Structure formats: C-alpha cells, structure tokens
Amino acid sequence: MSISPQTGSNQSEARVDPLDQFALEIARRNKLEGESLQKLANIFPAGATTLHRKLKGWLEEGRFDLIDKWTGQPTTSQAAIAIDEPLGERLARGTAIRRARVARLTGVEAAAGDDYRMHAASERGQAAYQAGDYLHRALGDVAARFLSDRLRPNMTIGLASGRGVALTVDRLEDMAKDRREWMSGYQDVRIFSLSGGSWMGTWAMPFNRPLDADANVFHLGTILHVSPDIRTYVGSWLLAGERAAEQASYQGVHLDLAIVGIGQLNTGHHFLRPDAALQLESMSSALATIREFQDKEGDEQASIADICHVLFYVGTGQPHDRVIEAINELNSVMSTPPRKTLESAEEVILVAGGAQKEEALYHFVMGNCRDAPIDPARVTLITDSWTADRILERG
C-alpha cells in the first residue's frame, strides 16, 4: 500500500507552515518506511514532538489517501520522486555525458531561482537555501538507488565532499537497514577520499554529521563493512601543505567508480564563507582576487566551479589573467589526489541540481570545461527536471 496526497476542499486555507510542503515525504518515510520521528527531526526543520503533532493533524484532516498498489496506481515514492526517463535520454543525447537520471520533484521550487544569491538571514534567501538542501536530499535518494545497482565486489570507489555525495551515502544507509542482504559481499571494496577539508555542512537543513569526503568514506565503509585498512583518508587538511608526512599515496590507484558533486565559487560556497577564513588564511590573496573579480563583473558570478576541490573556469570568453593565476594558485596547494586519478575514473556519478549549480553544470555537461578534473563522457548525471530542462533550453 502507499499514501497519496488528498487535494479536496478539506485542505486548510490557514497560514502555510513550512513543514506542509514536506507533508507527503514525512508521512511516507514514517508510516511506510518506518523511519523514526527522532531521525526525521535531523532531516526536516522541526523537532520530533512537532513532527508528531503535525503528522497527527495531517492524518486527522484526511490529507492523505491510502491506495492499494495492486490497482496499478503509482506508489507514493514514485509520486514524490518520479524518474523522467525520456528527459534523461534527451539530456544524455544533447550533451557530452554518458547517461542521466532525471527526477521530477515537488516542494523544492525555491531552488529554481536566483533567491540563493540573497542574504541567508532574509526569508527568501533562507527558503532558497533550504530548498536546495532538500533538492539534494531527493537527488541523493535517486543516486543511492543507482549506486546500489552499480556496486560490485572488489571495486575501488572514490568519494568527494559535499551535500550530493553525503546525502547519497546517507540514503544508502537507510536502504541497508531495510535490506541488509543488499549490502553484503562488499567487504573487500577499497574506498578513497577525493578531497581534504574539515567541517562542511548543508546550507539550511539540519544534518547530524560533517559532509567532508573523509566522513563520507567512513560512513560508506561502515555500510559496506569494509575493513579500516582499505579505506584511504586525505585528512581534515584543506591545503596540501598542512597534511601529515605519512599521508597515503594514490600512486597506481585506478577508480572503478567516483561519486562527486559540483560547486560554484560564489554565494555560499564554503571556500568563501567567513568560517573558512582561518583555514584558508594562507590563500587569502587568491580568494580576494576571485571575490573582487566576481563583485566587479556581475555576469561572472558563476564563472568558477570546482569538482573535488579542483577549480576550473566555466565562464564564457577568455578569463582575466589574474583570475587564472588565482585558480592555478589555489589548485597548486589544494589537498586532493592527482588529477590523473580523477580523470581516469571508469565511471563517475555526479549529483547536482538547482539554480545555484546551473551555470557550472551547463558548461561541464556540454564539454566546455577543458580544465575540469573528470571526463563528462564517463559521467552519469543525477539531477532534477528543472535543471535538465534549463540545460536543454540553452542548447
């Protein structure tokens, strides 16, 4: 059986609660998948008591129907995250990537505009940040299901940092609890961290662990029961000069699969946040050049991207020499594996979507970023329908 939304006249016309847009997802995960309200409180913007009260109210109002799946009607999970296979095929044909999984999502419309550029304290800015987090949670669900089909014994897997990767691993953990037999036989998988850096988090959504690559390696290793001896960590050092002398070597490492995200060096990117100032103090001059460039040239706000903390230019035309120097300076000291380790990965799952990623994604999937550290021809893109449509519209 499954739960579907009830759209009759009983729906309240009162003031909209932000939780209401996630009502279907909360009901599905608690009532159908058995996730506790305590865990959901770490995911949605409310405590367990509030979630209990809201869920009780939604049920009493008759907000949901219980549907017999034997009737052939779509399940709630399909309705909440519907995969648009024709759109994914068009996206793959119209770009340089190998394949795409495109999700049609509801409740994350605020992630499809420029409000993410607004101050985080503003109501619209906060709504955009939160929607971006929940969009990536939904994409993580799609990516985890795809990943579970790609896993093979004795693989070598690389994990980057960021929301998309962390939420993919988090969802895989939920799947493992429901179907423990799915995660057996992978204890010999080798897992490598693909970037350094300490605490990284979501923009607005509560999350109970850091999203850096090392944390992702630890959690995937735990899920797959991988021995600590074959998990390789970069460490919490963002800059290579800070790393310990005994750091593991990536010499001879060939990745069967890498799971990555993509970032744009503007707005809330963690390199430019105030809390990164101490860690990046030695690189303050290069970062100041990038800030100055983006502030002065308004149309260049989304012109620098990163994958696995490797920066590259995605703007149109020839970039300013000072900007190229700043990018090269940052790349020369970042704590990352050798570029050839990333470039030679057999398959790459790239999890990203929304307006904040659009410019970087567009240029990357169109094959316009010759300095990107991964080959788009090896990429399976996990994204949302708004982002996919925008890429195809731009041609």
DSSP state string for 249-310: P-TT---SEEEE--EESSTT-GGGSGGGTTTTGGGHHHHHHHHHHHHH-GGGTT-EEEETTE
pLDDT tens digit sequence for 301-315: 668 899 998 999 886
Tell whether 72 and 91 lie within a shared domain.
no
Q: What is the pLDDT of residue 301?
A: 63
Nearest to 45 by CA among 112, 173, 121, 131: 131
Q: What percent of the chain has pLDDT over 90?
A: 33
13 pLDDT band, cuts 50/70/90, is very low
User: 188 and 221 share a domain?
Assistant: yes
Q: Looking at per-residue confidence, does 278 or 286 come out higher?
A: 286
Do the Cβ atoms of 384 and 134 come closer than 8 Å?
A: no
- Mean pLDDT (whole number) for 208-237: 82
Share of the chain above pLDDT 70, in %: 77
Q: Are residues 58 and 118 in the same domain?
A: no
Q: Which of 334, 99, 314, 326 is nearest to 194 (CA)?
A: 334
Q: What does the pLDDT read at residue 390? A: 96
User: Do residues 227 and 371 both lie within one domain?
Assistant: yes
Top pLDDT among 375 and 231 is at 375
Q: Which residues contact 93 (CB under 8 A, 6 or more apart)?
A: none
pLDDT score for 85? 93
Residues 47 and 127 in one domain: no
Residues of the domain holding 27: 2-79
Q: What is the mean pLDDT of the chain?
A: 80
Residue 157 has pLDDT above 70, yes or no: yes
Residue 143: per-residue pLDDT: 96
Q: Tell me how many domains the chain contains.
A: 2
- Of residues 316 and 10, more confidence is placed in 316
- If you count them, how many residues does the chain have? 395
69 lies in the same domain as 93: no
Positive or negative torsion for Cα 166, 172, 174, 180: negative
The pLDDT of residue 23: 84
| 222 shares its domain with 150 | yes
pLDDT band of 282, cuts 50, 70, 90 = low
Q: Under a CB-based contact definition with an 8 Å cutoff, are residues 256 and 152 in contact?
A: yes
pLDDT at residue 238 greater than cutoff 90: no
Last residue of a domain, one of 79, 112, 128: 79
Query: Which of 57, 79, 101 is the last residue in one of the domains?
Result: 79
Q: Domain with 356 in it: what CATH number?
A: 3.40.50.1360
Domain edge (last residue) among 79, 104, 120: 79
Q: Token pair of 129, please? A: 């940040």
The pTM score is 0.76
Domain identity same for 121 and 208: yes
C-alpha neighbours within 13 Å on the C-beta side of residue 202: 26
The CA R_g of the chain, rounded to the nearest whole Å, is 21
